Amino acid sequence: MATRKDMPRRFREMLQSGETFVQPGAFNAQSALIAEAAGFKTIVVSGYGLSATLLGKPDVGLMTLTEVVQMTGYICDAVNIPVLGDGDTGHGNAINVMRTAEQLIKAGVGGFFIEDQVAPKRCGHVAGKQVIPISEAVGKYRAAVKVRDEMNPDVVLVARSDARGVAGGSIEEVITRCKAYRDAGVDVVFPEGVISREEVEQVSRAVDVPLFYNRTGVSPNMQLSDMRDLRIFLVINANGAHRAGARAMWDYLHAFAQEDAALDMRLAEQIKQHPLADFHAFVGFPQIRMLEEEFLPADDVARKYEGSLGFRP
């Protein structure tokens, strides 16, 4: 089994491969496990998903660093694939960014991104964003690079610019900022909220480093085949799983409010052939039984299970 220490090296090897990797968004350990089971090679922590599921609030900078790091650590512990952390604005100025970088690296991420929005930030595809001066942003990225280089040089650092979506924003400003962030030492640039493939291509040509692309909201939902020659390292679907899960819970709970126990009886047949039909096994009860048999006194294990009722791993 891979460890937290392995993930930055593996993530950097992925960056150096020149391939494009699709990253679904995870908002807790369970969603991360399912993404890994689906065959994805890497995942991204969705700040939007964390805010919506942990707080029941929109992504407008309400999550604290402590909350983000704790949830990110749970996600990193749950899977054996590299995780990209969401550092938001760095939770303060360049000095705060240093602690944000330190804590995310300790949490086990393979990499993380920090954006150049004014705090409190908001979702990159929601109107009303503002960005900090480029000189302040460069200081933040330089601070993050310093911490990264001292702790683990393999950690992949991504600089996100939201300059396209602000009032009066332009792709030219995005390019100027991404060049400055590249020169500050980041590995990947993230032009958030671009509105066409042509704009992505402009950034790719001008900045000449790998790109991170968020195909959602105002940005075109390009197929992988449409991304050839764009130097895109990561393309994310940050909240697809979150929306699908929320819709499923909405449908189930509204039906349950009407049908009560009859609903579970009706659904029991439908789920029998589903990979998650044995949910106890998916979350790891058989592994716990194996560990008990390895490390607990044999007589104690036998007494626990002999004649007991319920799921038997």
pLDDT value for 217: 82
User: pLDDT tens, position by position, for the chain (313 residues)?
Assistant: 556 778 999 999 999 999 999 999 999 999 999 999 999 999 999 999 999 999 999 999 999 999 999 999 999 999 999 999 999 999 999 999 999 999 999 999 999 999 999 999 988 888 889 999 999 999 999 999 999 999 999 999 999 999 999 999 999 999 999 999 999 999 999 999 899 999 999 999 999 999 999 988 889 898 888 887 899 999 999 999 999 999 999 999 999 999 999 999 888 888 888 998 888 899 999 999 999 999 999 999 899 888 888 877 7
pLDDT value for 225: 85
Nearest to 24 by CA among 214, 192, 238: 238
Distant-in-sequence, close-in-space partners of 285: CB < 8 Å, separation ≥ 6 = 311, 313
The domain segmentation of the chain, as residue ranges, is 6-238, 278-313
Model pLDDT for residues 193-249, shown as the tens digit of each residue: 899 999 999 999 999 999 999 988 889 898 888 887 899 999 999 999 999 999 999
pLDDT value for 311: 77
pLDDT value for 3: 67
| DSSP string of 30-73, one letter each residue | HHHHHHHHTT-S-EEE-HHHHIIIIIS--SSS---HHHHHHHHH
Model pLDDT for residues 58-82, shown as the tens digit of each residue: 999 999 999 999 999 999 999 999 9
Domain 6-238 in CATH 3.30.70.260: no
**What does each C-alpha distance from 113 to 137, 159, 191, 264 come to in angstroms?**
13, 6, 12, 42
Q: Is 265 exposed, middle or buried (0-12, 13-18, 19+ CB in 10 A)?
A: exposed
pLDDT value for 2: 58
